[in-house]
Structure 1
Amino acid sequence: MIAREELQRGAGKPRSLVDLFEATAVRLGSRAATKQKRAGRWEETSWAELAHRARDAADGLAALGVGRGDRVAILGETTTEWIVADLGVMGAAAIVVPIYQSNKAHDCQYILENSGARFVFCDSEAQVAKIREVREKLPRLEGIIRFEGAARDGFERTLAELEQAGAAWRAGHEGAHAARLAQLSLSEPACFIYTSGTTGNPKGVVLTHGNWVYEAEAVEELRIIREDDLVLCFLPMAHSFAKVIEAVWFKVGATAAFVESIEKIVDNAAEVRPTVMPSVPRIFEKAYNAVVSKGLSTPGVKGKLFAWSLKSLEAEVDGLERGEPGRGGIGLAVARRLVFPKLEKALKDRFGGRMRLFVSGGAPLSPRIAWFFQMIGFEILEGYGLTESAAGTFVNRPGQAKIGTVGPPVPGTEVRIAEDGEILIRGPGVMKEYHQNPAATAEILRDGWLYTGDIGELTRDGCLRITDRKKDIIVTAGGKNVAPQNLENELKTEPLISQVMVHGDKRKFLSALVTLNEENVRKWAQDGGLALTGPLHEDPRVRARVQAAVDALNAKQASYSTIKRFAILPRDFTQEAGELTPTLKVKRKYCTQKYRDVLDAFYAE
């Protein structure tokens, strides 16, 4: 066993994220750190056991010669083993290089090559196969460490074997762990997180132990995640949003439950009964559309009452966004008494009955969806940050959410709005640099400020309202500026619509590519007694429904920001087809090129 005093070495001000984790492990010992479903049963790993496994993994890497400044990659789903590997790499004084599990083999190759990774952890046979495919192009890669399955040859070893080797190595190297961590300082890199690469090759964002320790301590002050919380985790650990949740979890000592898959989020929630769930907006959009689709398809008086309630809610939200509350009238009052309580109970039961709050990040959340959840009794705290700012930069506070904003800065972070509206950030969460890319670093870090590339404004109470990405702002041929995300988010509240990409830069008018939520379309048709015999995207009744949503949106816009033409694509955007990022955001540049013929046809004379 590992001596308790060795783990307590970091008591006091932590010098690294590992110090911070080990202090919590000592404090909480036998309490559950993680929950994970294996062979149909939820199993717990205690803080003490997690620390023990992480220490074994660290010493196992040290036995392989991994040391300070070396890079080790992790490719896989979010699991207890991912956390063991993560802590093991940092505990070896090395640098973690997370890779999205959805990345193709050539994407993995680029990251492994650019980072100079010596080893890569893989969570499945499928991920091992990706690395095997490009192995010959990676001369510096020394081996694969598998979470599951037997090692195939000398190039591979299992995580269990690594941990066993670490325990054996430690017997002859007493004090090595403490010596390694003593070398670390808050300025040392903890990880390289590679950006999604929507405009060229991804850049390696160098984030330090100090970045993560700061985020953990700053967010702890806000009481968003508490020691008694059970946090439902499904976000990929290659995303900075997931990493900041991990850092806060290490600090406060909550329990993290890892879902089996994105498809089983709700089923797993009902089983483990979480109190907090960090998520990207796409999950809330899907939940909203499912509720609305079901409610509108309910026959008789109940269906009509739901439709009236939804219309009243939309009127109220429109008024709230204009500073004119009360537009919901008697319909909203009836909804709050007869409809919303039933929705609240049904949704709370589906999520296990204990959900205290949701945290939304990674992309903008539609205010309409945020208001909907708030009015049926769920709190969504929207936040904002970049990979370059360690994700947790702004966030709404529990019980004080300002819908339509991402809240004020976290304690210790400064914000400034440039003359052109760009958001500038300064503080301990800002990255050190881009790995081996001084030109890009100099472009984004100037005079101590991080130039985010986002456009926004500060409200009177110090909350940040995001307008759009600076590079995504559409400037029409008439010189008018349009923020496409606002239009897209509004359209995605239509249950039949899955994804939207608004187009129109240097064009005479705006157009849009629309994809369908096939499940909702078929349910809508079935409930309405409509026979769907051909392709859904060609059905005139489906197009009429989408047109109605576009017309409703246009009615609230200035003429230059109305969508004049749209096309319904034959299938939804997917990660596999390269159209979505791992956090389910549309890759505008890629989709614009891929569907160039469709878009050009809108503007043909």
Structure 2
Amino acid sequence: MEKVARLFDCMEIQAREPRTDLLNAKENGVWRAYSTQEIHTMIYQLTIALLDLGVSGGDGTTEGRDKIGLISNGRPEWIVTDLAVQQTGAILVPLYPNSNPKELEQILNEAEVKYLFVSSQDLYDKVNAVCANIPSLKAIYSFDQLDNCPNWTVLLKPLPDGYRDRLSAISKTIGEDDVTTIIYTSGTTGRPKGVMLTHKNIVSNVVASGKVLNQIPLENKGALSFLPPNHIFEKMCTYIYLFYGFSISYAESMDTIGANMKEVKPYIFTAVPRLLEKVFEKIMAAGQQLTGIKKKIFLWSIKVAEQFQIENQSIWYKIQLAIADKLVYSKWREAVGGNVKAIVIGSSACPIKLEKIFTAAGMTVMEGYGLTETSPVVAVNCYINGRKFGTVGKLIDGVQVKIAEDGEILCKGPNITVGYYKNPEMTAEVIKDGWFSTGDIGELDKDGFLKITDRKKEIFKTSGGKYVAPMPIENKMKENHFIEQMMVVGPERKFTAALIVPSYTNLKPWCAENNIPFTSHNELIRNSRVIELYQSIIDGFNPEFNHVEQVKKVTLLPEEWSIDSGELTPTGKMKRKVIMEKYKTEIDKIYSGEEHGGELSVVSGEFLKK
């Protein structure tokens, strides 16, 4: 791709090879395709309207430029708004739709947002409840038709004569080093921070990551989008699509992804590991319903996929893989439209087992690593050459990494944030001599692959003075399909323990097969045979860890952790502090009584060391 400076330069590139289906969304139950020309016209109309409302780049400084808020699910209007705001010289402040009112109020006030766009009635109501406390806010516009909020289309008026000259004059004042967006982190701990990202930050990531995506043999450049576009991972990938000639289709909701995939038939999509876990659960649940030879073939195909290696496959393995593909994997691909070539994974660690299974099935999992502060990609596994299971791939072009004495990953490059908005102290804490401290512990192997071993802040010390890194333990044990979610605990305690949410999708069929009756999850996790099952799982994994890391006791929990119930961030990461507080009684019970020693045994849904 030619050298570009700003994100909105994608429009000029798109105009050279326009599409009839640049952006696509369901409207009143029917897919609606927006052409390149339609989208560009709306962007120009909204840009002029914002300028006429007084929105501008001010004195050119980050503080002096106007801020425009955006709270919406992914849809064509999101991209139109983002590009229009960029062309005015103002700064976009996107927020998570599931943010609570208090958090919205805090962010909108700190950023001094001038105008706000929301997608739906519930989001308008949420903001309207606190807007009286946001003095900078002048007006709210909605994408959906609402009775009590002006629709954004009132701003889309016929373009006046000379509008291109007006926009061109403004464009010349916007440079690659100007901040284009302030993205507030979802915050696994504490108050969200406003990460300032420049055009150069994101464009450099788009270009370097785009080179990786260009390795994928796509018959048609069609992508499905369903992750929050205000998250830098989805936003940056969206701009890869916009710069490299893709068509983007937006899923109606997280609940309709499966149906939308069958309709859209995408070749690529981005996801978080949690989604792959859910998809695999459904695959396993369907497989468990089979009988006779069909079930035996299904279970055999899973074993074949679990043995997948990138290189050095034997002829016998290739034969087995081809048979499994014809009989089983091809049906999986049909269930997601039949065209998926690659799944780009980010946000958190993906279990190696899932990477192997989906890649073996012809849907290559490309796991990468990064943070909001790194725009976001630091490293990524390529489609064919340059990938290794158990790592997050090789560094992308232009990004440097060094490992500090304590194992922390430090990054440097054009993708590194210029800092946190209105927080120079915290900026100085994490950026020293151009090197950004990621807070992650990792290592670079001899072949240049980056491996993440844990979060620096999540490593804890037991009361015996021994350090435990919880993430590798959790990721390894979650490879078992009976474990849905898991959090290792034990700071300043005598031994390592864990909270486990069983995979009820897989556990219930197992109970049916073994004639175990139950009426509720609470009853199920107290059943002695269920407890024995989980004891055997822990027994199987523990020898892979040193003594202090071995899980000595576990409590099974009846309800899954979710974003809505507050245990997960909007991107699916565990809020460890929230979970620790919510389950304090259960954790205290784990550590009550005398210190234990000897073999694992079970009492009332918990593993105890006698």
Q: TM-score, normalised by structure 2?
A: 0.90
- Rounded Cα–Cα distance in structure 2 between residues aligned with 1:399 and 1:178: 42
What is the aligned partner in structure 2 of residue 161 from structure 1? 154
What is the aligned partner in structure 2 of residue 542 from structure 1? 530
Contact 2:195 2:421 in 1 (8 A): yes
Counterpart mapping for 1:450-489 below 5 A:
450-489=436-475
Letter in 1 for 2:511: A
Q: Secondary structure at the match of 1:183?
A: coil
Counterpart mapping for 1:168-247 below 5 A:
170-171=160-161, 175-222=165-212, 223=214, 228-247=220-239
What is the aligned partner in structure 1 of residue 605 from structure 2? none
Q: Residue 413 of structure 2: which of 407, 412, 427 is its match?
A: 427
**By how many angstroms is 1:144 displaced?**
0.5
What is the aligned partner in structure 1 of residue 360 from structure 2? 375
What is the aligned partner in structure 2 of residue 409 from structure 1? 395
Contact 2:46 2:81 in 1 (8 A): yes
What is the aligned partner in structure 1 of residue 601 from structure 2? none
**By how many angstroms is 1:142 displaced?**
0.9
What is the aligned partner in structure 2 of residue 4 from structure 1? none
- Rounded Cα–Cα distance in structure 2 between residues aligned with 1:507 and 1:597: 15
Q: Residue 490 of structure 2: which of 500, 504, 527 is its match?
A: 504
- Rounded Cα–Cα distance in structure 2 between residues aligned with 1:238 and 1:595: 31
**By how many angstroms is 1:465 displaced?**
0.6
**By how many angstroms is 1:518 displaced?**
3.3
Gap runs ≥5 in structure 2 = 58-64, 594-610
Contact 2:304 2:321 in 1 (8 A): no
- Rounded Cα–Cα distance in structure 2 between residues aligned with 1:519 and 1:87: 42
Contact 1:289 1:493 in 2 (8 A): no
**By how many angstroms is 1:425 displaced?**
0.6
What is the aligned partner in structure 2 of residue 115 from structure 1? 111
What is the aligned partner in structure 2 of residue 261 from structure 1? 253
User: Following TM superposition, where does structure 1 have runs of at least 4 consecutive aligned residues deviating by more than 6 angstroms?
Assistant: none
**By how many angstroms is 1:490 displaced?**
2.6
What is the aligned partner in structure 1 of residue 292 from structure 2? 300
Q: Would the alpha carbon gap of residues 227 and 506 (structure 1) be closer, same or farther in structure 2, given more than 3 Å must change?
A: farther
Contact 2:288 2:509 in 1 (8 A): no
Q: Secondary structure at the match of 2:137?
A: coil
Counterpart mapping for 1:70-85 below 5 A:
70-85=66-81
Q: Residue 140 of structure 1: which of 136, 140, 144 is its match?
A: 136
Alignment RMSD (CA, Å)? 2.5
Q: Would the alpha carbon gap of residues 564 and 329 (structure 1) be closer, same or farther in structure 2, given more than 3 Å must change?
A: farther
Contact 1:151 1:158 in 2 (8 A): no
Q: Secondary structure at the match of 1:14?
A: coil
What is the aligned partner in structure 1 of residue 93 from structure 2? 97
What is the aligned partner in structure 1 of residue 598 from structure 2? none
**By how many angstroms is 1:555 displaced?**
3.3
- Rounded Cα–Cα distance in structure 2 between residues aligned with 1:123 and 1:216: 26
**By how many angstroms is 1:311 displaced?**
5.3
Q: Would the alpha carbon gap of residues 334 and 120 (structure 1) be closer, same or farther in structure 2, given more than 3 Å must change?
A: same
Q: Would the alpha carbon gap of residues 12 and 461 (structure 1) be closer, same or farther in structure 2, given more than 3 Å must change?
A: closer
Contact 1:288 1:493 in 2 (8 A): no
- Rounded Cα–Cα distance in structure 1 between residues aligned with 2:279 and 2:406: 36
**By how many angstroms is 1:64 displaced?**
0.9
Q: Does 1:23 align with 2:12?
A: yes
Contact 1:297 1:524 in 2 (8 A): no
- Rounded Cα–Cα distance in structure 2 between residues aligned with 1:312 and 1:481: 37
Q: Residue 588 of structure 1: which of 576, 585, 594 is its match?
A: 576
Per-residue deviation, residues 3-53 of structure 1 (Å, max 9, x unmatched): xxxxxxxx97534211x2211231122442111112222111111211111
What is the aligned partner in structure 2 of residue 290 from structure 1? 282
Q: Would the alpha carbon gap of residues 548 and 300 (structure 1) be closer, same or farther in structure 2, given more than 3 Å must change?
A: farther
**By how many angstroms is 1:84 displaced?**
1.1
What is the aligned partner in structure 2 of residue 362 from structure 1? 347
Per-residue deviation, residues 488-529 of structure 1 (Å, max 9, x unmatched): 223323333321111112222111111133333333334544
Letter in 2 for 1:32: D
**By how many angstroms is 1:227 displaced?**
9.6
Q: Would the alpha carbon gap of residues 55 and 528 (structure 1) be closer, same or farther in structure 2, given more than 3 Å must change?
A: farther
What is the aligned partner in structure 2 of residue 8 from structure 1? none
- Rounded Cα–Cα distance in structure 1 between residues aligned with 2:185 and 2:254: 22
**By how many angstroms is 1:271 displaced?**
0.9
Counterpart mapping for 1:553-572 below 5 A:
553-572=541-560
Contact 2:201 2:375 in 1 (8 A): yes
Q: Would the alpha carbon gap of residues 130 and 485 (structure 1) be closer, same or farther in structure 2, given more than 3 Å must change?
A: same
Contact 2:47 2:85 in 1 (8 A): yes
Q: Residue 249 of structure 1: which of 226, 234, 241 is its match?
A: 241
**By how many angstroms is 1:150 displaced?**
3.6
Contact 2:185 2:194 in 1 (8 A): yes
Q: Identity across aligned pairs (percent)?
A: 33
Q: Would the alpha carbon gap of residues 198 and 30 (structure 1) be closer, same or farther in structure 2, given more than 3 Å must change?
A: closer
Letter in 2 for 1:469: R
- Rounded Cα–Cα distance in structure 2 between residues aligned with 1:520 and 1:244: 35
- Rounded Cα–Cα distance in structure 2 between residues aligned with 1:24 and 1:333: 42
Contact 2:305 2:361 in 1 (8 A): no
Q: Would the alpha carbon gap of residues 480 and 494 (structure 1) be closer, same or farther in structure 2, given more than 3 Å must change?
A: same
Letter in 1 for 2:582: K
Letter in 1 for 2:557: L
Q: Does 1:58 align with 2:58?
A: no
Per-residue deviation, residues 174-212 of structure 1 (Å, max 9, x unmatched): 622112211100011110000112221100000011112
Q: Secondary structure at the match of 1:287?
A: helix
Letter in 1 for 2:562: T
Q: Secondary structure at the match of 1:42?
A: strand
Letter in 2 for 1:569: L
Letter in 2 for 1:406: V
**By how many angstroms is 1:273 displaced?**
0.7
Gap runs ≥5 in structure 1 = 1-10
Letter in 1 for 2:92: V
Per-residue deviation, residues 91-136 of structure 1 (Å, max 9, x unmatched): 2211011100111111111111111111110000000001111011
More helix by share: 1
**By how many angstroms is 1:562 displaced?**
1.3
Q: Would the alpha carbon gap of residues 402 and 272 (structure 1) be closer, same or farther in structure 2, given more than 3 Å must change?
A: same
Letter in 2 for 1:274: P
Which is further off, 358-367 or 336-345? 336-345
Letter in 2 for 1:367: I
Which is further off, 270-279 or 511-520? 511-520
Which is further off, 581-590 or 211-220? 211-220
Letter in 2 for 1:545: L
- Rounded Cα–Cα distance in structure 1 between residues aligned with 2:164 and 2:319: 70
Which is further off, 405-414 or 281-290? 281-290
Letter in 2 for 1:290: K
Letter in 1 for 2:352: P
Letter in 1 for 2:492: K
